[in-house]
Amino acid sequence: MEASLRVEVHNPGLPESVRLRCPEADDAHGRGLLLVDSVADSWHAGPSRFGGTVVAFEMSGAWPPS
């Protein structure tokens, strides 16, 4: 069985639309999902069960076997 890593990041407040974008070189924000998309096997964003928005991603083979 291959090990995997799942990460969820919850942002409180009102649910927001999250989308992958290509920021301009001088933009102060907007690179997080670009980084996640480059290393994750899959990711999704949507309403958080705690309120606000959640972004979650999974990576297989993220940990060495025990």
Q: List the chain domain ranges.
A: 4-60
Q: pLDDT, tens digit, for every residue of 44-54?
A: 999 999 999 99
Q: What is the CA radius of gyration of the chain?
A: 14
Q: Which two tokens stand for residue 41?
A: 């096997």
Q: Coil, strand, or helix at residue 12? A: coil
pLDDT at residue 21, rounded to an integer:
87
CA dihedral 35, 47, 7, 39 (to 10 degrees): -20
Q: Coil, strand, or helix at residue 37? A: helix
Q: Please, are residues 22 and 31 in contact by the beta-carbon 8 Å criterion?
A: no
Higher pLDDT, 44 or 16: 44
The residue whose two tokens read 């996640």 is 36
